[in-house]
Amino acid sequence: MTFKKLSPKQKEIFRWCYRDNYDALICDGAVRSGKTICMITSFILWAMRKFNGAVFGICGKTVRSAERNIISPLMNIADITAYFAVNYTRSVNLLTVEGCGRKNSFYIFGGKDESSYMLIQGITLSGVLFDEVALMPRSFVEQAITRTLSVENAKLWFNCNPDSQFHWFYNEWIKRAEERRALRLHFLMSDNPILTEKQLESAERQFTGVFHDRYIKGLWVSAEGVIYRDFADNTEKFLLDIPPDDIVYCAVGFDFGGNGSAHAGICTGFSKRLRKVVILDEYYRKEVISPAQLENDIIQFVRRCQQKYAVYDGYFDSAETTLIRGVRTACARDRLHFEVHNARKSAIIDRIRFTNLIMSQGRFFIMKNCKHAIEAFRSAVWDSKHLDDRRFDDGNYNIDSLDAFEYSFEPMMNDIIES
């Protein structure tokens, strides 16, 4: 790709590093606003102009996400490849850029990768770019910054989408930008000059509630109030009397109860080309029961689902290893054609954002008889008193059905988004 035009804020990304008054750049704000693409281009051009034989860091949430979001696009940016030979050696996570009589090395690190944390400790860096810094552990970011302190004219480059206003990066860097000699640029989607009016509108529709505030308006706000606003206000439009006839795959998600919470199971169906996600059947039991009774209930629930749908996979609360083992043994004993997997339990905010997305795209439905799940979606609220994003849970809310539903779709999440 080539940059045909740049918005005023994007131009700043290319200029700030040649001014002596700044040691760092922070670009935070809306999704798709053109932060990463300009930052990586400017970073490489600055490094090549100012240094030779130096080492730099490029950090993503994980090494793999950095390869996908930064390295691959970089290889296609004509403003770089026209002047420099760019080579990436995946086995050592090393990018080399050579040309105009200079050669520099860029190591790729993943903030969440254990191995990156070890590797970055001994190294000296002349500059570090953090893509999606709000998704990295603070200790990793601080370690990487420490590695630049001995290099004169080293610069730091941060970009991210907003999180809650209690987030460490917001408080330590954005609020203190001036005293840290950092230039802060706040981005909106309108700062990306290639997005059309239609694309802006359609992107806006993908996010509601706190996601709209953070990813469209670019605000650092904590999640509060009703989680699934549209579902709570217009429940009827999500309900079905009969299941769609093009369900091609189903999975069960199961959350084990205890300490006042319920045992909840959800059977989710996915239609052709993963177009629709439908809650087809549910299990819900709040009273205290023995593990044997629970296994028995689960077998019966799976049998009931299998009579109607092709269900061969179940994803169970992975914290409860003994209960999972019991269920696995029971399924084998009863010769059930059903594989018991550990649930992934990815970050709660990702699961909720996904559900919100398929709801706003008109791809999410619930069978009318799944009363507990319907009530759970209608009543779910955020717990704004916590520093991280959480659902409010005082024992009266049914978050168990929501967890169970999320376990059932987690392995399919990326495929469903892409479809």
Of 146 and 199, nearer to Mg ion (C-beta) is: 199
Q: Which is nearer to ligand ATP, 7 or 398 (CB)?
A: 7
Shortest spacing between CB 6 and ligand ATP, in angstroms: 5
Q: Which is nearer to ligand ATP, 2 or 89 (CB)?
A: 2
Those residues with Cβ within 8 angstroms of residue 42's Cβ, 6 or more apart along the chain or in another chain: 13, 14, 17, 157
With CB under 5 to 8 Å by kind, the binding choice for 356 among Mg ion, ligand ATP, none is none
In the list Mg ion, ligand ATP, none, the entry touching 6 (Cβ below 5 to 8 angstroms by class) is ligand ATP
- State both tokens at 41: 């281009």
Residue 346, helix vs strand vs coil: coil
Of 158 and 407, CB closest to Mg ion: 158
Structure tokens at 209: 């509630």
Q: How far is the CB of 131 from Mg ion (least distance, A)?
A: 6
Give least dist CB 137 to ligand ATP, A: 19
Q: Which is nearer to ligand ATP, 64 or 333 (CB)?
A: 64
**Contacted by 37, from Mg ion, ligand ATP, none: CB < 5 to 8 Å by type:** ligand ATP
For residue 196, what are the contacts with CB-CB under 8 A and spacing of at least 6? Answer: none
Q: Which is nearer to ligand ATP, 114 or 197 (CB)?
A: 197
Task: Identify which of residues 32 and 372 has a Cβ nearer to ligand ATP in the complex.
Answer: 32
The listed partner (ligand ATP, Mg ion, none) that binds 78, CB under 5 to 8 Å by sort, is: none
Nearer to ligand ATP, 1 or 319 (CB): 1
Find out whether 35 and 27 touch, Cβ atoms under 8 Å: yes
**Do 132 and 160 form a contact (C-beta atoms < 8 A)?**
yes
| Amino acid occupying residue 376 | A
# residues contacting Mg ion (CB under 5 A): 1
Q: Which residue is nearest to Mg ion (CB)?
A: 36
Amino acid at 63: V
Q: State the DSSP string of 110-173.
A: ETT-HHHHHHHTT---SEEEEETGGGS-HHHHHHHHHTTTTSTT-EEEEEE----TT-HHIIII
Name which of 36 and 222 has its Cβ closer to ligand ATP. 36
CB of 160 to Mg ion, least distance (A): 8
**Three-class DSSP category at 379:** helix
- 211 or 231: CB nearest ligand ATP: 211
Least Cβ distance, residue 36 to Mg ion (angstroms): 3
Q: How far is the CB of 281 from ligand ATP (least distance, A)?
A: 36
Q: How far is the CB of 162 from Mg ion (least distance, A)?
A: 13
Q: What is the DSSP string of 287-314?
A: S---HHHHHHHHHHHHHHHHHHS-EEEE
Q: Which of residues 18-77 bind Mg ion (CB under 5 A)?
A: 36
As measured in angstroms, the least distance from the Cβ of 210 to ligand ATP is 16
CB of 132 to ligand ATP, least distance (A): 7
- Mapped onto helix, strand or coil, the DSSP state of residue 94 is strand
Chosen from ligand ATP, Mg ion, none, partner binding at 32 (C-beta under 5 to 8 Å by type): ligand ATP
Q: How would you label 85-95 residue by residue, b for 16+ Cβ within 10 Å and e otherwise?
A: ebebeeeebeb
Q: How far is the CB of 409 from ligand ATP (least distance, A)?
A: 22
- Do the Cβ atoms of 155 and 23 come closer than 8 Å? yes
Q: Are 371 and 279 in contact (CB under 8 A)?
A: no
From the list ligand ATP, Mg ion, none, pick the one residue 33 interacts with, judged by a Cβ distance below 5 to 8 Å according to partner type.
ligand ATP
Non-local CB neighbours of 399 within 8 Å, separated by 6+ positions: 261, 376, 380, 391, 393
Provide the token pair at 369. Answer: 């008889």
Judged on CB neighbours under 10 Å (0-12, 13-18, 19+), 213 is middle
The residues of the shown chain that bind ligand ATP, judged by CB under 6 A, are 1, 3-4, 6, 10, 31-37, 161, 192-194
- Contact assessment for residue 246 and residue 280, using Cβ atoms and an 8 Å cutoff: no
Whole-angstrom distance, CA of residue 35 vs CA of residue 374: 39
**Contacting residues toward Mg ion, per CB under 5 A:** 36
